[in-house]
């Protein structure tokens, strides 16, 4: 696949930074450009999620593709307190300030989009724009979706916050669990195995503390982040930067009034449903994603 070959030729640099008490791994390219985009992956992946869009982005922008804490080759501290979105957003803030960057665009998928949302609320002066991919606000998912809707698309949100049981069922069966997640999109697992990325996802998932950290991410969201977002919604604390929303017609947001929902918590919202796409947008439909993202970013950085 041409996009995979282009990615191999990008000559990205692997970097590590000590931020917020942990070691954060990220890759960097396009350092010659003045404007920066920060890519934040989702669950259960790593920075490699972005392999099909990085080659185009590095032609236009400085690109930082980060492994969130608990994922990839970043540190995986124990306990749930470190996995609040406020703390994970502080990791990214510390990285941005460590690199002496000014306003950045945060492009996040899934869990990474949740970190990007929190970053925009906590550090608005450092945000030029956001692109949030295939997520609804955390509080909307927990408070508005029916049990039937949650069981179909968000079952792992419930399963993974249960104490101890997920660890007992996943340990030694990591590949089975990962495979079940990716099989939500027909043929995606086969694609991942064909281009070798499946082996990378299995490697990081099996690292010491790997799947435990992911479980703690979801547990922190339910126990610690959710009450905070409920309060902020009542206070009308909103995202005030331009926000592009992208989601797949067959993904978790299918059938939801996505733009209407997000306009309750963000003031400058645009977006589009991507045809023939499931949840894993950057891997399933990278070209369609870039068709929407490129003009959005051009408009942001030309004004």
Given 25, 41, 156, 279, the catalytic residue: 279
From CA 211, how far away is CA 226, in angstroms rounded? 22
**Spatial CA neighbour of 75 closest among 224, 221, 213, 216:** 213
**Spatial CA neighbour of 55 closest among 9, 106, 105, 112:** 9
| 3-state SS, residue 27 | strand
Given 73, 75, 91, 110, the catalytic residue: 110
From CA 158, how far away is CA 281, in angstroms rounded? 23
Q: How far is CA 226 from CA 144, 221, 278, 303, in A?
A: 13, 6, 25, 35
Q: What is the Cα 215 distance to its own chain's centre?
A: 15
Catalytic: 279?
yes
Residues with catalytic function = 110, 279
């Amino acid at each position: 696949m041409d996009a995979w070959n282009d990615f191999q030729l990008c000559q990205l640099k692997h970097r590590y930074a000590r931020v917020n008490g942990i070691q954060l791994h990220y890759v960097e390219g396009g350092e010659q450009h003045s404007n920066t985009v920060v890519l934040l992956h989702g669950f259960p992946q790593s920075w490699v999620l972005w392999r099909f869009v990085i080659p185009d982005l590095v032609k236009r922008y400085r690109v930082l593709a980060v492994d969130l804490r608990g994922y990839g080759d970043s540190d995986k501290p124990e306990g749930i307190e470190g996995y609040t979105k406020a703390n994970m957003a502080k990791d990214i803030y510390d990285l941005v300030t460590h690199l002496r960057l000014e306003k950045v665009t945060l492009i996040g998928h899934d869990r990474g989009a949740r970190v990007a949302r929190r970053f925009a609320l906590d550090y608005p002066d450092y945000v030029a724009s956001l692109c949030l991919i295939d997520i609804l606000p955390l509080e909307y998912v927990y408070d508005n979706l029916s049990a039937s809707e949650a069981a179909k698309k968000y079952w792992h949100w419930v399963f993974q916050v249960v104490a101890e049981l997920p660890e007992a069922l996943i340990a030694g069966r990591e590949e089975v669990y990962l495979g079940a997640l990716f099989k939500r999109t027909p043929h995606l697992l086969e694609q991942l195995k064909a281009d070798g990325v499946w082996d990378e996802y299995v490697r990081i998932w099996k690292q010491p503390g790997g799947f435990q950290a992911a479980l703690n991410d979801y547990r922190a969201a339910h126990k610690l982040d959710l009450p905070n977002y409920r309060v902020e919604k009542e206070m009308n604390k909103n995202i005030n930067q331009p926000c592009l929303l992208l989601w797949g017609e067959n993904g978790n947001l299918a059938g939801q009034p996505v733009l209407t929902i997000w306009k309750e918590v963000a003031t400058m919202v645009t977006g589009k449903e991507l045809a023939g796409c499931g949840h894993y947008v950057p891997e399933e439909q990278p070209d369609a994603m870039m068709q929407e993202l490129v003009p959005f970013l051009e408009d942001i950085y030309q004004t």
